[in-house]
Every structure is written in structure tokens, then in C-alpha cells.
Amino acid sequence: MGHTAAALAFDVERVRADFPILSRQILCKRLVYLDNAASAQKPQAVLDAVRHFYAEESSNVHRGVHYLSTVATKAYEGARDRIREWIGARDRGEVVFTRGTTESINLVAQSFLRPRVREGDEVLTTHMEHHSNIVPWQILAEQTGCRLVVAPIDDRGELQRDEFERRITARTRLVSVVHVSNALGTVNPVREICAAARARGIPVLIDGAQAMPHQRVDVGALGCDFYAFSGHKLYGPTGIGVLYGRRELLDAMPPWQGGGDMISNVTFEKTTWNELPYKFEAGTPHVAGAIGLGAAVDYLRALDLGAAAEHEADVLAYATARLAEVKGLRLIGTAREKIGVVSFVLEGVHPHDIGTILDQEGIAIRVGHHCAQPVMQRFKVPATARASFAFYNTREEVDALVHGLARVRELFPQ
């Protein structure tokens, strides 16, 4: 399987040098980090930005007239501006900082949808969702009497489009789907999903946690109403994320949490709300996290993203071919359009044993249900082993994974 020209043009070793953790050793073995779908590593530029804030500019934002507060506020809001441009939002009021994808989805469930649904109304999702795009709707169903409708996936892990559209009814109040499955790597046709829903006047939320690290996402071009993603998967800090929402919808939504900074005026008789996006950012924000996420976006902007994506695709194709050579290994998720995830089971070996043995070889993968238990149930497995790739991974690391699996097979012969 040959390298593409773009993949060859991508200097992966130069990029790897930007990520300090990739040079460390685990149990006297060079780290092979293949757990990027859980959390990606951080380039030096992000580490420097966070350290600089705490060492040189640490202060609360929006509330002070002193120098440090002014500088911190400028850096915090500057990060919002760069993220707004990166995702194609129309204005900065549409970029709400949250703790991550999970909080963003819960915000939409409680602030946007809860006031708008009644018993018998429906939220449409798919069988490949992360728990974060299932449980908030189940909580909403308990609160309101609405119901969660699930569109099926096929044996490849692809959405059955005809069944999905058949489930859009007069009672559908929101479509909420994942852009890329964390357990399967499947890329959903979200632009077409948004168009089908929009034709019926139904708003759409996209869980973009797994898509953002692998491709440039333009929320306007997608046609979605809400888009949620997390910083730590996008080479940024933990505890920070973004909810994009169309201004018309965010304007009409009540605050989700009350407290400082989300208010305009407070009396014991009545409180009025701040303007967007601050209406949804109660309390002291994760200032360092936002600055770090802005630095991650700056880092990605400086990359040749087309070449990076080609490199990732080459590594994924190589991994798929090499894993097919492993005796007794079965891939879970073989969608025709995938992004950097290979989930698999190995006959006669529990995934936790696979992960433990590979760890002894310095190889970090994820094992378990990946917060996607319905996916495991669909494929009749209790768990899978999952290797997930970023643009800093290499074919040589895939070879190390395959070598490690040979070690697993030695310890668990068929």
C-alpha cells in the first residue's frame, strides 16, 4: 500500500517534535500513543500558552480594571475570536465556552429543548452515539415525557439513511447526531442530515468531539443549528469546550446556570441576563483552558491540514491492512468513510488483557465500551480494543501495535 504524495509531503517527525510527551519512555520502551480518540496530546505551543497565562497574566476576566485583568480578558476573548473564525461562526456571540462536549449537549437539552417539548414529542438520534448524546435526552424524557427515537446502523457501522429519514416525523423536535463515531470511526453524512431536517423545520445538534481533530469544520456550510466539541481532543487543555449555536436560537434560550457574569442587573425582585455569549457562562470561566484552546487552533492553522489528513488516512489504511493479518482478529466498524479509529476484538482474549499486555510494550490503546455501550450491544461484544490515530502517528507505530498483538497471542494461544 503506497504513500500518497500529500502523505509523503507531510513531515511527521518534525510535527512529532512539537509534542514533548511523544519522546518519553514507558517501562523503558518508547511511548506509542494510540489513544487519541480519548484525549489527544498537547503541542509545546499550547503548554507554553497555558504556562504563560499562569506565570505572567493570571487574573480573573471581565471584572477588573487593573492591568492583569485587562490583559487576561483580552487573551480570553481573543481565543474566542480565533475559534469563531476557525469554525465559521457568524459572530462571537455564537461561541459559548463550556467544560466540553458533554456540558454543551446538556446545555442544549435543558435550555433549548426542555421548554419546547411535551409528552409524546421526539428526539431523533442514532445507534452509534456516545453516552453524552444519549443520557441527556433520557433525562429530558423523564422530565417532560418526550421520547428518544434511535435510527439503526448496519453491520459495517454505517447509518441506515432510509431508516433515519423514515424516523423523522411530525413529532420530531430535534435531531442530535454524532459527526464521527468514537467507537467505530464512522463519518456520518451530517451535511445531508442537516438538509433533511432543515427541510422539515427541525433543528439539528452535531456532536463534533471526534470530527474536529481530523478536519476543518465549517458550521455554516454544514447547516447545523448547534455544534459541540471538546478542547482536549483538539490538542488543547482538558475542562474546556465549545457550544456553537445560531444566534437566533441562543437569544431565545434561557440561561442554564445562574451566578456571576451571566447577569446584566440583579435585584431581589428581578434579574436580567447578560448578552451573548455570556448569558451561558456563569461564574469564573476556565481562562487558561480557553487560552490554551486558542493556542491549539493557532497551531492547527499553521499546519498543512490537507497533508495532515492525507497522512492520517494513510496510517489508518495501513493499520487496517496490517491488523487483517493478525490471526483471530475481527474489526468492529468497517464503514466506507472512516476517520482514524480501529476497534477490534481478538478471539479468546479479553480486551482488558490486550490493553494490559500492550501497555507493557509501551503502547497506549483504549479498551472497554468507550462510553458507547449500545454500539457494543449492536455488535454483540462486551468491549473492544481501540487504537485511534492523530497526525503525529506513524506506520512504524502501527507495526509496533501489530508486534505487540503477536505478544498477546503468544500469551493467549488459540
Rounded CA-CA distance 187/369 in Å is 19
**Would strands 384-388 and 341-346 be described as parallel, antiparallel, or unpaired?**
antiparallel
Could you report the per-residue pLDDT of 9-51, keeping only the tens digit for each?
A: 799 999 999 999 999 998 889 999 999 999 999 999 999 999 9
Predicted pLDDT of residue 257: 83
Predicted pLDDT of residue 180: 98
Report residue 1's pLDDT band, with 50, 70 and 90 as the boundaries.
Answer: very low
Is the CB of residue 218 less than 8 Å from the CB of residue 194?
Answer: no
Mean pLDDT of 114-131: 97
Spell out the SS3 assignment of 376-388: HHHCCCCCEEEEE
Phi, psi of 274 (to 5 degrees): -70, 170
Query: In terms of Cα–Cα distance, which of 412, 397, 414 is closest to 353?
Result: 412
Predicted pLDDT of residue 413: 87
> Which CATH number is associated with domain 5-30+304-411?
3.90.1150.10
Residue 28 bears catalytic tag: no
> What's 47-301's CATH class?
alpha beta
Is the CB of residue 30 less than 8 Å from the CB of residue 219?
Answer: no
In the block, cell 488543547 appears at 236
Q: Where in the chain is the domain with CATH 3.90.1150.10?
A: 5-30+304-411
Could you report the per-residue pLDDT of 328-386, keeping only the tens digit for each?
A: 999 999 999 999 999 999 999 999 999 999 999 999 999 999 999 999 999 999 999 99
Among 28, 194, 224, 371, the active-site one is 371
Rounded CA-CA distance 298/306 in Å is 16
Rama region for 181: left / alpha / beta (φ>0; ψ in -120 to 50; rest): beta
Predicted pLDDT of residue 3: 54
Predicted pLDDT of residue 115: 96
In the block, cell 421526539 appears at 122
Rounded CA-CA distance 388/287 in Å is 29
Classify burial at 208, counting beta carbons within 10 Å of its beta carbon; exposed 0-12, middle 13-18, buried 19 or more: buried
Residue 351 CB neighbours (<10 A):
22
Predicted pLDDT of residue 175: 98
The answer on pLDDT for 271 being more than 90 is no
The answer on pLDDT for 275 being more than 90 is no
Q: What share of the chain is helix, strand, coil (3-state, %, to 5)?
A: 45, 20, 40
In the block, cell 487496517 appears at 320
The answer on pLDDT for 2 being more than 60 is no
How many residues does the structure list for the chain? 414
Rounded CA-CA distance 297/238 in Å is 15
Q: Where in the chain is the domain with CATH 3.40.640.10?
A: 47-301
**Would strands 204-207 and 226-230 be described as parallel, antiparallel, or unpaired?**
parallel
Report residue 122's pLDDT band, with 50, 70 and 90 as the boundaries.
Answer: very high
Could you report the per-residue pLDDT of 189-217, keeping only the tens digit for each?
A: 999 999 999 999 999 999 999 999 999 99
Predicted pLDDT of residue 263: 65
In the block, cell 502523505 appears at 7
Going from the C-alpha of 201 to that of each of 117, 197, 198, 223, 329, the distances in angstroms are: 15, 6, 5, 12, 45
- Show the cell assigned to 186: 464512522
Is the CB of residue 127 less than 8 Å from the CB of residue 152?
Answer: yes
In the three-class reduction of DSSP (H, G, I as helix; E, B as strand; rest coil), residue 229 is classed as strand
- Show the cell assigned to 87: 469554525
- Show the cell assigned to 138: 433520557
Q: How many helices (H) and strands (E) does the chain have?
A: 15, 17
- Work out the percent of the chain whose per-residue pLDDT is above 90: 89
Query: In terms of Cα–Cα distance, which of 311, 217, 239 is closest to 16?
Result: 311
Predicted pLDDT of residue 190: 98
Report residue 7's pLDDT band, with 50, 70 and 90 as the boundaries.
Answer: low
The answer on pLDDT for 78 being more than 90 is yes
Predicted pLDDT of residue 8: 57
In the block, cell 429530558 appears at 140
Could you report the per-residue pLDDT of 87-102, keeping only the tens digit for each?
A: 999 999 999 999 999 9
- Work out the percent of the chain whose per-residue pLDDT is above 70: 97
